[in-house]
Amino acid sequence: MRVLIACEFSGIVRDAFALRGHDAWSCDLLPTEIPGNHIEGNVLDVLGDGWDLMIAHPPCTDLAVSGARWFKDKTEEQAQAIDFFMALIEAPIPRIAAENPISIMSTRYRKPDQIIQPWQFGHGETKATCLWLKGLPKLTPTDVVDGRAQRVHRLPPGPDRWKERSRTFPGIAKAMAEQWSITA
């Protein structure tokens, strides 16, 4: 199966699918942190390249409700972010998962199909993650663990804070690869 992981520089989700034998590629404006199949560039340029599955991680800076207090000053940026999200979700790919935190996409597009937490997949942390699904089943929790730390939310300020907050938890990536490989 040809798998595109849109807006991923970490390689975490890409590698989870590659471990299952898929032709998995990450694509981001940034170089990949982990060597592997990676397209450094605009994902919109490769959406029509015959992918079977796409997992998209569109930037949430101008969409997440946690930043609502700045929305009035960022109307143009927000409009661009909504257009980008919609271009991904409407891509000519039969199976799509778009993920974002709690965001305005619940009203601008539709409610998410599912909201997952890291603690459902082996990580004792909270980080509500919405999934909008096309042609895919909801993820089934694989390893519910104790602990409800807000580590990601409480990261100290710094130039790379956004990078740390944007990485997919490995347990979630593994569940995606295991459960959504079956649908192919």
Overall average pLDDT of the 161-178 stretch = 82
**Can you give the length of the chain in residues?**
184
**The domain containing residue 119 runs over which residues?**
2-181
The pLDDT tens digits for 114-159 are: 999 999 999 888 888 999 999 999 999 999 998 776 655 555 566 6
Range name among 12-21, 78-87, 111-120 with the lowest pLDDT average? 78-87
Tokens of 85: 């999200």
What is the torsional sign of CA 180, 35, 165, 83? negative
Residue 42 near residue 59, CB atoms below 8 Å: no
The confidence score (pLDDT) of residue 9 equals 95
Q: Residue 141 carries which DSSP code?
A: P
Domain total of the chain = 1
The confidence score (pLDDT) of residue 156 equals 55
Q: What is the CATH number of the domain that holds 129?
A: 3.40.50.150
